[in-house]
Amino acid sequence: MTPRPLPKTVAPLPDELLSGWLSRLAAANYCDDAELLAHIEIDTTHGASLDFNVDAAAAEKISDAARTNPDIVRSLTFPTMTPAEALLTARVPFQSCPECSRRGLLLRHWRRAWAFDCQVCGTRLVQTLGKPRGEQISEKLVNRARRGAGMLECAAQLSSPKQLRRAMRAVTFAMSLVTFRGEPLFALQSHRQEVRLFCLAAIAAARSRPLVKAAIVSSDIDDYARVALLRTFEKEQRLLAAVDHIAQRRARSIGPMAVESHY
């Protein structure tokens, strides 16, 4: 038995994510997301994963309830991704557009680690769970981060292992600057605005003089970051030696106290 069609339906918008459209559908019918999924007879524990994979039966149930067709339901999920795109696409929301969110939208491109400005209205995306800490973020950092995001997008879309490796290496350095513990991929999806901005900015900075950049950072880091750095260069002994050499020369010439971030 198929569930009864919902009294009201809403048309999906370009780039809208299935979970976002379901939320709007629920709101239009005066219920919440869980009640809507229960009505359609879809296991609510699978709510979030529906964005990545909706099986034929579920697509059928949703399309019947919303009076649309299963192909449209499926078009709201992520298409098949390359391994690089998959790595750089968040499983759960981590940023959103303040303007479009107010209209109840949840868009697909916001999940990409490289998304920086909203493609619909141009507003800069903000961290979903991040608390505004009242600190002033410099325009220079924002612009550099935007450039880094563009480079990350390029690397992901070209699936270029070399560019991706270079970007992740830059992120590892930035993590040591903002004392972020964990994987570079999580740093890019961090709910702390300054972490994400520093990491993206580092991608842009590393492009011009990666070794000098590495050296500057490595001369001012703790043991944890040092280990991360060694791991980054594990298979590139020659590069690691070069970084160490520059760091030592720099430390000798300016003294340890003078080392600072130049973001």
- Residues near Zn ion (CB under 5 A): 97, 99-100, 118, 120-121, 123
Least distance CB 119 / Zn ion (angstroms)? 8
Whichever of 5 and 104 has its CB closer to Zn ion, that residue is 104
Query: Helix or strand or coil: residue 16?
Result: strand
Helix axes 161-177, 193-208, angle to 10 degrees: 130
Measure the CA–CA gap between 215 and 134, rounded to whole angstroms: 31
Least distance CB 106 / Zn ion (angstroms)? 11
Whichever of 120 and 242 has its CB closer to Zn ion, that residue is 120
**Are the C-beta atoms of 9 and 70 separated by less than 8 Å?**
no
Which residues 6+ apart lie within 8 Å of 118 measured at CB?
A: 97, 99, 100, 107, 110, 124, 125
Least distance CB 123 / Zn ion (angstroms)? 5
Whichever of 59 and 115 has its CB closer to Zn ion, that residue is 115
**Are the C-beta atoms of 217 and 210 separated by less than 8 Å?**
no
Whichever of 106 and 168 has its CB closer to Zn ion, that residue is 106
- CA nearest 201: which of 137, 258, 245? 137
**Are the C-beta atoms of 127 and 192 separated by less than 8 Å?**
yes
Least distance CB 39 / Zn ion (angstroms)? 30
Least distance CB 101 / Zn ion (angstroms)? 8
Whichever of 96 and 163 has its CB closer to Zn ion, that residue is 96
**Where do the DSSP E strands lie in 154-233?**
none
Say which DSSP state 45 is in: G
Query: Helix or strand or coil: residue 186?
Result: helix
Least distance CB 44 / Zn ion (angstroms)? 28
Least distance CB 103 / Zn ion (angstroms)? 8
Measure the CA–CA gap between 55 and 218, rounded to whole angstroms: 48
Whichever of 100 and 225 has its CB closer to Zn ion, that residue is 100
Q: What's the Cα-to-Cα distance from 110 to each of 82, 117, 130, 135, rounded to whole Å? A: 18, 9, 15, 24
Whichever of 15 and 194 has its CB closer to Zn ion, that residue is 15
